[in-house]
A = this chain, B = another copy of it.
Amino acid sequence: MPPNRSKPNNLVQTIERVALIFDILGMAPNGISVGELSEKTGFPKGTSHRLLSSLAYFDYVRQDPVTKNYQLGFKLVELGNRLLGHLDFRAVARPFLIHLAERTKETVHMVILDRNEALYIDKVDSSEHRSGLRMVSMLGSRLPAHCSAVGKVLLAHLSDAAFDEVISHKGLAERTRNTITEVERLRAHLKKVFAQGYALDNEENEIGIRCVAAPIRNERGAVIAAISISVPALRSEKSKLETTLKDRVVETALNISRKLGYPQ
């Protein structure tokens, strides 16, 4: 899925090819051979090999010495985590998220808006169901903004122009029967979210999962992220979500915001 940026007029071919290679390797847990890569990309084998071995030199990919297959390299882990480390609000928030997860015994997420989608930048499972597995595969993954509680919180604090851009690029895909798919209805809904300071997700993204989310603000009051609690629909009478859990998410979000310098 090509991102929604304007395509640069002078897109460098090698970068385009490397991006394609990374995407393909990202879907191949055990790596792929030079031949397979050429098959999938249409590059001649020599070309595939030249690109892979150049990438391997810098540890962006690595070659299994026995199968000769190429897979993603650990330089990507280093860079990805360096980027996350640069998001200082994330470090500030983390202890609060852990506390929230332990107090509610539910899963907590932290999300930012990036390229018109909700992007997971942290996740804490309650100690009960900490698996770790999911967390890892989740960081850096994306969710439509219009059908998640976190996404709606972020949308609600956007300028009209920015909101329109999200809609025009991403639309309002129907993920479940509860998804809000009409722009005007969404606009009205977000007005309410803005006013009340939190958003609910009533199985709008995935049947069986409900969430409550609240905004994180920086020292200037700008909304820079959102946090949420996710609850299996079975375990959640809708009322509890809208009372206890809602209060705790809102409270935690405010505490994080204050720590970030948000006055009041």
Q: Which residues in A have some Cβ–Cβ distance to B below 8 Å?
A: 3, 5, 7-8, 10-12, 14-16, 18-19, 22, 26, 29-30, 50-51, 53-60, 62, 71-86, 88, 90-91, 94-95, 98, 114-115, 119, 121, 127, 130-133, 136-141
Q: In the bound complex, what is the Cα–Cα distance between A71 and B58 (angstroms)?
A: 19
Q: In the bound complex, what is the Cα–Cα distance between A185 and B94 (angstroms)?
A: 44
Judge whether A54 and B133 touch: CB under 8 Å.
Answer: no
Give 7 new A-B contacts, CB below 8 A, not counting A71-B83, A94-B132: A8-B50, A15-B54, A15-B55, A26-B78, A30-B86, A82-B137, A85-B133
Q: In the bound complex, what is the Cα–Cα distance between A74 and B58 (angstroms)?
A: 19
Q: In the bound complex, what is the Cα–Cα distance between A132 and B98 (angstroms)?
A: 9
Q: In the bound complex, what is the Cα–Cα distance between A20 and B3 (angstroms)?
A: 24
Judge whether B57 and A136 touch: CB under 8 Å.
Answer: no
Number of copies: 2
Q: List 23 A-B contacts (CB under 8 A).
A: A8-B54, A10-B53, A19-B60, A26-B79, A72-B86, A74-B83, A74-B115, A76-B83, A77-B81, A77-B83, A77-B121, A77-B139, A77-B140, A78-B139, A79-B80, A79-B140, A80-B140, A90-B136, A91-B131, A94-B132, A95-B130, A98-B130, A98-B132
Given contacts A15-B14, A50-B12, contact A3 B58 (CB under 8 A): yes
Contact of A3 among B59, B85, B98, B133 (CB under 8 A): B59
Given contacts A57-B5, A98-B132, contact A22 B79 (CB under 8 A): yes
Judge whether B83 and A11 touch: CB under 8 Å.
Answer: no
Chain B hits for A22, CB < 8 A: 75, 79
Q: In the bound complex, what is the Cα–Cα distance between A11 and B94 (angstroms)?
A: 41
Contact of A12 among B19, B51, B62, B91 (CB under 8 A): B51
CB distance from A95 to the nearest CB of B (A): 7
Judge whether A26 and B132 touch: CB under 8 Å.
Answer: no
